[in-house]
A and B are shown apart, each in its own frame.
Chain A
Amino acid sequence: SAVISQKPSRDICQRGTSLTIQCQVDSQVTMMFWYRQQPGQSLTLIATANQGSEATYESGFVIDKFPISRPNLTFSTLTVSNMSPEDSSIYLCSVKKTMESGYTFGSGTRLTVV
């Protein structure tokens, strides 16, 4: 399975500011996914990031709030913009190498907005 380096691992941010989360994969992958996991909850898909095209956002998530970049097949960023305390969560990137391997997750970014 792929190895994903995600950073930062955690951050405490002031409301109204933005944070960019980076994910680097050790091999080329077509699809990268960004999830949010709020305390005690399961994973909610924010968007799917494909190289060379705009990200596809799930219902309830918009590009202005969560802009995504995917400049190549091994890297992606997610920005959480104009943060509020409601954005406090764990953010996870994920990739799929093959269906048999399922999804591999980065180590997560624990974001606290104060």
Chain B
Amino acid sequence: QKEVEQNSGPLSVPEGAIASLNCTYSDRVSQSFFWYRQYSGKSPELIMSIYSNGDKEDGRFTAQLNKASQYVSLLIRDSQPSDSATYLCAVNKNNDMRFGAGTRLTVKP
């Protein structure tokens, strides 16, 4: 079992729709969770972090964490073509950050 698992996609949504990205992790004592966006040919950039169960909202982005289910998700509301990228889920325990393989999102105009 991979430490951090994501559907590779591609996930395609129409402009203005909600994009839902999911991630599961294997280590129950993981402490903090991150979502990174990576445009093609660019390095990853942090868009959301979450540490406790529940939802965390930042603009059009909402991160959701359920530690009992070892599940973290990212919702992107009002998706824009500029959101088209690969989204990486990352899980941290004791300064050991592990990344998922990423989900490729395409937002179609």
A residues apposed to B, CB below 8 Å: 1, 31, 33, 41-43, 45, 92, 96, 99-108
Q: Which of B32, B44, B100, B102 contacts A105 (CB 8 A)?
A: B44
By a CB distance below 8 angstroms, the chain B residues around A99 are 32, 92
CB–CB A102/B46 < 8 A? yes
Main secondary structure of the interface of B (DSSP, over half): strand
> Judging by beta carbons under 8 Å apart, are B32 and A42 in contact?
no
Distance, CA A100 to CA B34, complexed state (A): 10
Count contacts between A and B, CB distance < 8 Å. Answer: 40
Given contacts A99-B92, A102-B34, contact A42 B46 (CB under 8 A): no
Is B101 within 8 A of A42, CB to CB? yes
Across the interface, do A42 and B43 meet the contact criterion of CB distance under 8 Å? no
Known: A105-B45, A106-B43. 20 other contacts (CB 8 A): A1-B46, A33-B97, A41-B101, A42-B102, A43-B88, A45-B97, A45-B98, A92-B44, A96-B95, A99-B32, A100-B49, A101-B46, A102-B34, A102-B36, A103-B34, A103-B46, A103-B97, A107-B42, A107-B43, A108-B43
Query: In the complex, A43→B36 CA distance in Å?
Result: 11
Q: Does B90 sit within 8 A of A, measured CB to CB?
A: yes
User: What size tier do the contact residues of chain B reach?
Assistant: 10 to 19
Task: Decide: A42 and B97 in contact? CB cutoff 8 A.
Answer: no
Most central of B36, B45, B46, B97 by chain A CB within 10 Å? B97
> Could you list some 9 contacts between A and B, CB below 8 A?
A45-B98, A92-B43, A96-B95, A102-B46, A102-B49, A103-B97, A104-B46, A105-B43, A106-B43
For the complex, give the distance between the alpha carbons of A108 and B46 in Å: 15
> In the bound complex, do residue B45 and residue A42 qualify as a contact, i.e. CB atoms below 8 Å apart?
no
Taking the nearest CB of chain A, how far is it from the CB of B64, in angstroms? 17
Q: Mark B57-79, 1 if CB is under 8 A from A, else 0.
A: 00000000000000000000000
